[in-house]
Homo-oligomer: A and B are copies of this chain.
Amino acid sequence: MAVAGPEIERLIQLLARLPGLGPRSARRAALHLIKKREALMVPLASALQVAIERIQVCKTCGNIDTQSPCTVCTDPRRDPAMIVVVADVADLWALERAKASNGRYHVLGGTLSPLDGVGPQDLTIDALVQRAHAPEVQEIILALNATVDGQTTAHYITDLLQEANVKVTRLAHGVPVGGELDYLDEGTLSAAMRQRTLF
């Protein structure tokens, strides 16, 4: 497709590498940007430039921010006794949107996955163990996906933390809020039954 010239073709190819956009929607996105030149393309180019210049990874927890240590790590209202371990910054954001925790975070950068060649050295597990030994830390909350890889990672970390003087916890299994019982798998249902709470 050389109708529109190499400049647009390059823009489409880069947009197609964003998660959620395939080749077809990348073409539509490129056209939309070109049509909304002043209202969207110029502001997006500038927002990307700002991000390129200012965004960095927090050296403490792995969150992304315009400062390192990040806003969460330096917030005095955060409880330094709890570290919530997540696989990815997206999970950190999700927990923050849910206001699920007042602790600090630790972003692993993924989960252990022998099939994909992801081993402990590819994640920030060493740094987590080191943080867990700090005197103020009392609880490590493993907020990892309830998948095989997520749970393998949780077990691996739990083993490593046995020497540290911390409580290791994980998220409860159960019925999602708004979830219908007959759509849930048996493992979730029996976990929800075992971990039932007083009404």
Binding site for B on A (CB under 8 A): 1-5, 7-8, 10-11, 14-15, 17-21, 25, 27-34, 36-37, 40-45, 47-52, 54-55, 63-66, 71-72, 88-90, 92-93, 96-97
Report the 8 A-B pairs with minimum CB-CB distance, sorted nearest first. A20-B25, A45-B48, A18-B29, A3-B96, A11-B47, A14-B44, A19-B28, A5-B66
Residues of B close to A10: CB separation below 8 A: 47, 50
Residues of B close to A32: CB separation below 8 A: 18-19
Residues of B close to A8: CB separation below 8 A: 51, 55, 64
A171 to chain B, nearest CB (A): 19
Can you give 20 contacting A-B residue pairs, CB < 8 Å?
Answer: A1-B97, A3-B63, A4-B93, A5-B71, A7-B47, A7-B54, A14-B44, A15-B18, A20-B28, A21-B21, A27-B90, A27-B93, A30-B51, A31-B88, A33-B51, A37-B52, A37-B55, A41-B52, A44-B48, A45-B45
Cα distance A25–B36 in the bound complex, in angstroms: 20
Residues of B close to A11: CB separation below 8 A: 44, 47-48, 50-51
Number of copies of this chain that the complex holds: 2
Cα distance A6–B95 in the bound complex, in angstroms: 18
Cα distance A66–B10 in the bound complex, in angstroms: 13
Contact of B47 with A14 in the complex, beta carbons under 8 Å? yes
Given that A1-B96, A14-B43, A96-B1 are known contacts, is A50 also in contact with B19, CB under 8 Å in the complex?
A: no
Residues of B close to A71: CB separation below 8 A: 2-3, 5
Cα distance A114–B189 in the bound complex, in angstroms: 52
Residues of B close to A14: CB separation below 8 A: 40, 43-44, 47
Contact of B64 with A4 in the complex, beta carbons under 8 Å? yes
Contact of B47 with A52 in the complex, beta carbons under 8 Å? no
A121 to chain B, nearest CB (A): 18
A85 to chain B, nearest CB (A): 16
Choose among B7, B28, B43, B66 the residue that contacts A55 (Cβ–Cβ < 8 A): B7
